[in-house]
Chains A and B, each alone.
Chain A
Amino acid sequence: MTTPVSETKLEPLGERLAARFPGAVGADTRPGYSGWVVEAARLIEFATFVRDELGYDLLSSLTAVDYLPEGRMEVVYHAYKTTGGPALVFKVQVPRVDPVEVPSVISIWPGVDFQEREAWDLFGIKFIGHPDLRRILMWEGFEGHPMRKDWKEAFYEEEVKPFKSRWPDGNHVYAEQKNPYGDNIMFKPGFDPEKWTPTDPEELLYASLKNYQAESKDGIKTDQVLVNLGPQHPSTHGVFRVVVMLDGETIVRLKPVMGYLHRNHEKIGERNTFLLNMPYTDRLDYFNSMSNNWGYSMAVEKLMGIQVAERAEYIRVIMAELSRIQNHLVLIGTLLSDLGAFFTPALYAFEERELILDVFAATAGSRMMCNYHRFGGVVRDIPAEALQKIKDLSFERLPRKIEEFDRLLTENEILVSRCKGVGVLSGEDAVAYSMVGPMLRASGVPYDVRRADPYGIYERFEFDVAVRYNGDLMDRYLIRIDEMRQSVRILQQAIKQIPAGPIVSVKPQYQVRVPAGEAYGRVEGPKGELGFYVISTGKPTPWRYHVRAPSFINLTALEKMCEGEKIADFVAILGAIDIVLGETDR
């Protein structure tokens, strides 16, 4: 694990970097760590080199780590090649003295926009050169940067779970008694919520939109209209808000506002022990708890250095693919609903989804909050009747129903005329904006983690990476149908091949020993690449637990896709990204 990622070229990457950046780039030699440590002053130069000369064009993840005892902040970058292969990980270390400043790489990878804002919001790292460095998940009046290790919540109980008050003399206290209304949030000194009027944060938001100047063609100066959509609107699929600047009906600029469902999942994750995080990952993208579990358990398994039981590998694939099918069904159903095919497709989709959820309930014990994976395997075997049901579904019902779904609306002229050529995102833009999953593949980039950087046992299955080339709404709809067909193919093979045997490779324990180090587990979730970046210091709880959420990062390109489109199409463009606010806001 300590050996850095090496290039398959003639000269190893280490020598190449040493020659190019003498003294500024070194291998990360901490035990359990990998990648390169780059001097902050030469980051931009290094990033350009990585993208243009080494070919790592997709910057998948950017996150920060607070090393409080060492007095250091670190920004971690995971870059990939869209042609496949492992990551190039590089890090920038800066002293933990305010202001913590790191150059922004937004000019090289525009897709880091929201991720840098998130790191600023939660860690207080100033990205020099970022054009719009505002808070993103917390509100503008918020004091402090909650992911810093020395920040404590108002109802702080203890650094880590289990809390000592629960046992052996746990006389129950209601949570609300410990943090009565008014005392349960912290404000800036001198800030009184009773007297506060919402000027400051909204001003900032609107100002970021107003710096756009429209040129009128005929010399007549027309006002542009600011429209707020959401956060309470059914078309936004949750509590998501956008502020749109309109020129007539046409969108000229747009800014998403999020964080209404923010609960600081990552801070909770650092209070939890490794195992306790598993059910919390269910609640990220609550449609696909099976995939979420997989990403997290993969990261921890990498740290622990354990193998997954053979049968469990198959079960994981079966569950992940079932999850993908039901996610795409729901997405298509609601997307068509957004487009005006009112509820017939949505309800048809929910019927098939219901059958898949029955399988989850019989196997994992819950329809949506599955909590099914354990380190080294899964929690229980598939019951015989559930396995029979999976067989029936994947050999008989689902193929038939997917075709029926295809017949229902794919050729419908009204749908086609609303979708063709709307919200176009070119392949280059999609890669630059760090788009992942079906969104990227609909723009003509056949990048699928299952093939590009195979995990689990996906290498054993025959399937095609679905790809479409126009990058418009129609392709985003069609690619989901393509992917469902491929998932059925994988399911059929997995069911035929599944071996008997144990379902977990290590003794089930509630307190696992995780050696110090870092690991990044990523899976191809139905919404795109879902990554978990976990750092262990050898203690029972992770030092850092970061979720690279596809539906959060895919929103970065929303403005790009909407520019010049009609406001009526905005809802469909947003719907096709397939966001879930549980994951976006975390």
Chain B
Amino acid sequence: MYGQGIWKGLKVTLTRFLQTYWEDLGWLLRGRKRYYSPEGIAHRSGKDNNGIFTVQYPEEDLPIPEEFRYVPFLVYDEKEDGGKDVRCTSCGICAKVCPPQCIWIVRTSDPETGRPVPVPTEFYIDADVCMNCGFCAEYCPFDAIIMDHDYEIASYERNLMNMEKLLKPASYYKSIRPQNYAFQEEARNAKEAAKAAKADADNEAH
């Protein structure tokens, strides 16, 4: 019969329309919050969702997965006296693997001997050029540059990030990427322990 296909399709839209209310009602009766709650957001982006999908940004935020990557930042370890121990040694690998070449590093050299000092004088990331590929963080041998989770960086000016803007503490790194952080700390500690063991062995030998 002509028109049957149209009805078949309309049944789909009607079902989905009713399901939206049915699901909202269900959550309401069970006294749970489907909107503006982490539980509700998780449900709305899960496999069982049959109702409204929309997440009301900026009132609600989607949870960011750990591996999410945005414009990178530089990590510093907090010293006990409150100073900053910048992990970067200005080795330049990140600048070399940067596909759009948006990392510019000024290496420090000792004013007396002229030899390089393993800390950058300046570190620029042209965030408007950055393509968020994550190579810098992936190939950094010192875990000194990490991809950030902060994606709200819109501004009226050009986003040129210098050291001041780029440096963030290791505790922040731990808060956004707990698994990666733990994994890397473990590797670093193992390395340090091996180094110490070797130093001890050398001392004993002398």
> Which chain A residues have a beta carbon within 8 Å of chain B's beta carbons?
161-163, 165-172, 174-175, 272, 275-280, 344, 348, 351, 354-355, 358, 361-366, 369, 371, 379-380, 383, 386, 389, 392-393, 396-397, 404, 407-416, 508, 510
- Assess the A168–B12 pair: CB atoms within 8 A: no
A364 vs B147: C-alpha distance when bound (angstroms): 13
> Are B135 and A275 closer than 8 Å at their CB atoms?
yes
**A170 and B99 within 8 A (CB):** no
CB pair A172–B13 under 8 Å, yes or no, is no
| Interface bits B1-25 vs A (CB < 8 Å: 1, else 0) | 0111110110111001000000000
When A167-B96, A175-B129, A358-B45 are in contact, do A380 and B105 touch as well, CB less than 8 Å? no
Across the interface, do B9 and A408 meet the contact criterion of CB distance under 8 Å?
Answer: yes
- In the complex, 26 of the A-B residue pairs with CB atoms within 8 angstroms, ordered by the A residue number, are A162-B96, A162-B101, A166-B101, A168-B90, A168-B107, A169-B106, A170-B105, A170-B124, A275-B97, A279-B133, A279-B135, A354-B53, A358-B65, A371-B134, A379-B138, A383-B65, A392-B46, A407-B8, A407-B9, A410-B5, A411-B4, A411-B8, A412-B5, A412-B8, A413-B3, A416-B5
The answer to whether A371 and B133 touch (CB under 8 A), given A362-B67, A510-B139, is: yes
Task: Contact check, B160 vs A389: say whether CB atoms are below 8 A apart.
Answer: no
- A361 in contact with B158 (CB, 8 Å): no
**Contact A171–B122 (Cβ < 8 Å):** yes
On whether A510 and B135 interact (CB within 8 A), knowing A361-B68, A413-B2, the answer reads: yes
Residue of A nearest to B69 (CB): A365
Residue from B16, B101, B103 with most neighbouring chain A CB atoms (10 Å): B101
A508–B65 Cα distance when bound, in Å, is 24
- From the candidates A166, A167, A365, name the one contacting B67 in the complex (CB within 8 A): A365
Q: Are B45 and A380 in contact (CB under 8 A)?
A: no
- Chain B residues in 8 Å Cβ range of A166: 92, 95-96, 98, 101, 103-105
Known interface pairs A162-B95, A410-B5, A415-B5; 7 further A-B residue pairs with C-beta atoms within 8 A, sorted by A's residue number: A166-B101, A166-B104, A171-B106, A275-B97, A279-B135, A508-B139, A510-B93
> Considering the chains assembled together, what is the distance between the CA atoms of A170 and B135 in angstroms?
19
In the complex, chain A residues whose CB is within 8 Å of the CB of B103: 166-167, 170
Residues of chain B within 8 A (CB-CB) of A412 are 5-6, 8-9
B45 near A354 with CB under 8 A, answer yes
- The minimal Cβ–Cβ distance linking B124 to chain A, given in whole angstroms, is 4
CB of A263, distance to nearest CB on chain B (Å)? 12
- Bound-state CA distance A500–B30 (Å) is 41
**Chain A residues closer than 8 Å to B65, beta-carbon distance:** 358, 361-362, 365, 383, 386
* Contact A365:B104 (CB < 8 A) given known A162-B95, A408-B12, A414-B6: no
Report the Cα distance A171→B104, complex, angstroms: 6
Docked-complex contact A369 and B132, CB < 8 angstroms: yes
With a cutoff of 8 Å between Cβ atoms, the chain A residues found around residue B122 in the complex are 171
> What residues of chain B have their CB less than 8 Å away from a CB belonging to chain A?
2-6, 8-9, 11-13, 16, 45-47, 53, 65-69, 90, 92-93, 95-99, 101, 103-107, 116, 122, 124, 126, 129, 131-135, 138-139, 147, 158, 160
Give the chain A neighbours of B160 by CB distance below 8 A: 172, 174
**A196 to nearest B CB, angstroms?**
31
Please tell me which one of the listed residues B96, B124, B132 contacts residue A366 in the complex, with CB atoms under 8 A apart. B132
Whether B107 pairs with A167 at a CB distance below 8 angstroms is: yes
- Chain B residues with CB below 8 A from A416, complex form: 5
Those 5 A-B pairs whose CB atoms lie nearest each other, nearest first: A411-B5, A170-B104, A279-B133, A168-B107, A362-B65
Bound CA span A432–B137, Å: 47
Across the two chains, which residue of chain B brings its CB closest to A157? B101
- Find chain A residues with CB under 8 A from B124 CB: 170, 172
Q: Which residue among B4, B47, B104, B135 has the maximum number of chain A CB atoms within 10 Å of its CB?
A: B47
Specify which chain A residues have a CB less than 8 angstroms from the CB of B53 in the assembled complex.
Answer: 351, 354
Q: How far is the CB of B89 from chain A (nearest CB, A)?
A: 12
Which residue among B3, B9, B98, B105 has the maximum number of chain A CB atoms within 10 Å of its CB? B9
Of the listed residues B6, B46, B65, B69, the one surrounded by the most CB atoms of chain A closer than 10 A to its CB is B65
Tell me whether B9 and A365 are in contact (CB under 8 A).
no
Question: Once the chains bind, are A413 and B104 in contact (CB under 8 Å)?
Answer: no
Cα–Cα, bound, A62→B206 (Å): 69
CB distance from B135 to the nearest CB of A (A): 7
Is there contact, CB below 8 Å, between A389 and B67? no
- The reply to whether A365 and B68 form a contact with Cβ atoms under 8 Å apart is yes
Whether A170 contacts B138 by the Cβ 8 Å rule is no
Question: Which chain A residue lies CB-closest to B137?
Answer: A365
B118 → A minimal CB distance (Å)? 12
Chain B residues with CB under 8 Å of A170's CB are 95, 103-106, 124
Q: Which residue of A lies closest to B62 (CB)?
A: A358
CB distance from B36 to the nearest CB of A (A): 19
Cβ–Cβ < 8 Å partners of A171 in chain B? 104, 106, 122
**CB distance B45 to A355 under 8 Å?**
yes
* Min CB–CB distance B106 → chain A (angstroms): 5
Q: Which residues of A contact B104 (CB under 8 A)?
A: 165-167, 170-172
Q: Which residues of B are found within 8 Å of A413, using beta-carbon distances?
A: 2-6
Residues of B within 8 A of A510 (CB): 93, 96-97, 135, 139
Q: Which residues of A contact B147 (CB under 8 A)?
A: 365
Name A396's closest neighbour in chain B (CB-CB). Answer: B47
Which residue of A168, A369, A383 contacts B131 across the interface (Cβ within 8 Å)?
A: A369
| Cβ contact of A168, chosen from B8, B9, B92, cutoff 8 A | B92
Residues of A close to B47: CB separation below 8 A: 355, 389, 392-393, 396-397
A354 to B2, CA, bound (A): 35
B67 near A380: Cβ-Cβ < 8 Å: yes
Closest to A388 in B: B47
